[in-house]
Structure 1
């Protein structure tokens, strides 16, 4: 699905920097090349709007293209808050690994220890599935999004069901229904993305801590890092707090404002709101050891291949690995939810990038272009 010819895209790109511009953090990457690629997402891929945030050792540079509001022609706000979808999984995995470091959870313990008599179904046995399997998507547990009629691609939590859009989802019931489907494979036999893994991880965190997942993410990650534009929505929230672009979905050939929605159906798998700058700060802090002790960070970065032809992509514990064209290692996640797509990565030398679009592309090519843009921005040229 692509935007129709009635959408008039603004091809002019606006740029801004923080840190008084004195550090010129993105200058070495060739800003003209980056802004040209950002504009191509509008003029060639026909997305409404896009924003890139590049952070280098704490200094951030932002560029935008297209519109954040189709009707008014307004651009993305500089510090745009958006739904970050499956990037939420990295936050959840980080909290779980902090609990492992605190000896409150054992990474290779069976899920049955924490959720007795819950994880069972055709070929599904909570005594054989570990916490590691959940975080790494090697459990074989089937995808719960199928409950909403939309089997997603990795990172995607899209559904156009109006009841799901506005209603509060009982995730315990959703998981219970998902577990009536047969296992996709035996635990540890292969990798397959399933949002149900993280729904279960969220339930386990809440049981172990006797607190809500949102509260744990807030006091363990958001507050210590000063992520002032990041939050886990309350169950009854439908709007995005603070400055944000509108997010669009193409439904029956029409571009629809899908910004407001209840994201309890995404939950631990993809409910959070953040900005490009905050995401960059989070992934940088994660990789430099601010959030996890060395043993848990090493476990998080221990990967299994995705099995994608001609790809080196591999998945750790809520963390996606990719080898950049310039030879550096990139770590991140990414995510899609109705209205927004986010892609990005961070390197261990203090550089991080997030690209946001306010529509999930309907074909693979725009996302490929977004990923290429991330790679370009993460590989500065001399």
Structure 2
């Protein structure tokens, strides 16, 4: 099965993708629904029935999307539900359970943010201080941005420089410092604080600040300040730390069947703050309980003030889209609106053959986490985390409406043309992704090409291509379309310059410059 998410470069390994891991390629329901008139609380029997319905939905998705193994955890109506489905490995099948470990991808960023908030609570870090207070030599390509960018802007993804930098600087304890030193090549796309664009490189800088302030490696600091106090015994950064665990192997999807991929084991240490954590659904649910709680660990020790927990999901930066529509980001958490004006606190992640979702509704004391061991997990996470089925069923809230519209040729014309973004690979080479759009039948239709060599002419020697499109539901905002024009259930948007002209496409949280 071929999808836009695993064909073209910006999602080659999910690139530590965020809110919902990867683009769906099958026809899924659009993120459109009406405000619910149902009560905001549910009975114990109703929640139990909901768990049965969730089982059926997951099992159906596993068959449809070629997912060998899934683990789910839910907190709803005062009940906790943890369950494993299927097997860890199609070649050596072992049942998945609540302690089976998967890569959680970019949900790792919230662990980086939570650890940093412990240092904020201890008055060792100021979120609104410039990064150079902690890293005096910090520099990207733009001198003014280098001097002005703040710690908060790293965490709410508004630092403004090119963010998809996956360079590998080896396994040594200097991996993060070498990575940050290399960032002087990263071009500035937008001014700091002005525009949301998902930024993996910014989280590496946040991880490096943790190292400098604590005087330890990033991984040791997170272990000591967060993982150990929360008793997350199945959550680790390195593969040699999970010996003896039940491990969910990564799987690709070939001819609609799962095939084992060794991608689980490959991860650059220099990118650990952005997405390398290995965890179980039981640990993820315990982590959710902490964030829904009062800031104390299971043994009663205070880790964060209640004020700090609330601050992580408050004061959002610039908004936009990352598969879902975002009010903005707080401290490493995506803050997503609902039709009922209740905030959804969300993340999720992707790495090769590992796709996950995680969200909470603090006002409803609801949380859900899902871990999968297949590229096909992108579709299941879209079903459960972009569409609002789980939110409606367990938290009684719905997505903001998004009714697809048919636009005139004149209305589509401002969005037509070429859009380009770049990314830096693990080897340090620069790759370019090009999207071409045209208006047709009231919607935008286009192709995406991944060019390994940016000097290559866009019409020649393209590695791969994929078809995509948008059905607008309000000005500048659209529902993603698949190759056959079907609604995928995810959202993207366009960004205008100060003069009101369309300047950028934001897709999967990344900015593509209009040329």
Q: What TM-score bracket applies, with the shorter chain setting the length?
A: 0.7 to 0.9
Residue 405 of structure 2 is matched in structure 1 by none
Deviates more, 1:103-112 or 1:224-233: 224-233
The partner residue of 1:190 within 190, 195, 205 is: 195
The TM-score normalised by the length of structure 2 is: 0.59
Instruction: From the CA coordinates, give the structure whose radius of gyration is larger.
Output: 2
Aligned residues: CA RMSD: 3.2
Q: Distance in 2 between matches of 1:377 and 1:247?
A: 30
Residue 391 of structure 2 is matched in structure 1 by 375
Contact 1:48/1:70, CA 8 A, preserved across alignment: yes
Matches within 5 A, 1:224-303: 224-233=229-238, 237=240, 242-250=245-253, 255-258=259-262, 259-290=264-295, 291-301=303-313, 302-303=315-316
Deviates more, 1:348-357 or 1:207-216: 348-357
Residue 359 of structure 2 is matched in structure 1 by 345
Residue 320 of structure 2 is matched in structure 1 by 307
Q: Distance in 1 between matches of 2:153 and 2:325?
A: 22
Contact 1:144/1:175, CA 8 A, preserved across alignment: no
Per the alignment, in what secondary structure is the counterpart of residue 221 of structure 2? helix
Q: CA deviation at 1:137?
A: 0.6
Contact 1:343/1:356, CA 8 A, preserved across alignment: yes
Closer/same/farther in 2, CA of residues 304 and 377 from structure 1, 3 Å limit:
farther
Matches within 5 A, 1:216-227: 216-227=221-232
Gaps of 5+ in 2: 4-42, 296-302, 398-515
Q: Distance in 2 between matches of 1:131 and 1:42?
A: 40
Q: CA deviation at 1:226?
A: 1.8
Closer/same/farther in 2, CA of residues 101 and 187 from structure 1, 3 Å limit:
same
Per the alignment, in what secondary structure is the counterpart of residue 294 of structure 2? coil
Query: When you count strand as a share of all residues, which structure comes out higher?
Result: 2
Gaps of 5+ in 1: 4-22, 149-163
The partner residue of 2:66 within 19, 23, 46 is: 46
Residue 19 of structure 1 is matched in structure 2 by none
Q: CA deviation at 1:197?
A: 0.7
Q: Distance in 1 between matches of 2:182 and 2:255?
A: 29
Residue 80 of structure 1 is matched in structure 2 by 100
Deviates more, 1:129-138 or 1:297-306: 297-306
Q: CA deviation at 1:330?
A: 2.6
Q: CA deviation at 1:144?
A: 4.2
1:330-374 superposed Cα distances (whole Å, 9 cap, x missing partner): 323211112311102123243321111102348x64431131464
Per the alignment, in what secondary structure is the counterpart of residue 189 of structure 1? coil
Q: CA deviation at 1:100?
A: 1.3
Contact 2:139/2:183, CA 8 A, preserved across alignment: no
Deviates more, 1:318-327 or 1:137-146: 318-327
Matches within 5 A, 1:1-382: 1=1, 27-28=47-48, 30-56=50-76, 60-122=80-142, 125-145=145-165, 147=167, 168=171, 170-233=175-238, 237=240, 242-250=245-253, 255-258=259-262, 259-290=264-295, 291-301=303-313, 302-308=315-321, 311-312=325-326, 314-323=328-337, 328-348=342-362, 349-361=364-376, 365-371=379-385, 372=387, 374-375=390-391, 378-379=394-395
Q: Distance in 2 between matches of 1:264 and 1:124?
A: 29
Q: CA deviation at 1:146?
A: 5.5
Q: CA deviation at 1:71?
A: 1.6
Give the number of equivalent residue pairs: 342
Contact 2:47/2:394, CA 8 A, preserved across alignment: no
Per the alignment, in what secondary structure is the counterpart of residue 274 of structure 1? strand
Per the alignment, in what secondary structure is the counterpart of residue 78 of structure 1? coil
Contact 1:26/1:54, CA 8 A, preserved across alignment: no
Q: Distance in 2 between matches of 1:210 and 1:311?
A: 38
Q: Distance in 1 between matches of 2:65 and 2:255?
A: 19
Contact 2:316/2:328, CA 8 A, preserved across alignment: yes
Q: CA deviation at 1:32?
A: 2.5
Q: CA deviation at 1:252?
A: 11
Q: Distance in 2 between matches of 1:352 and 1:57?
A: 10
Per the alignment, in what secondary structure is the counterpart of residue 216 of structure 1? helix
Q: Distance in 1 between matches of 2:356 and 2:396?
A: 21
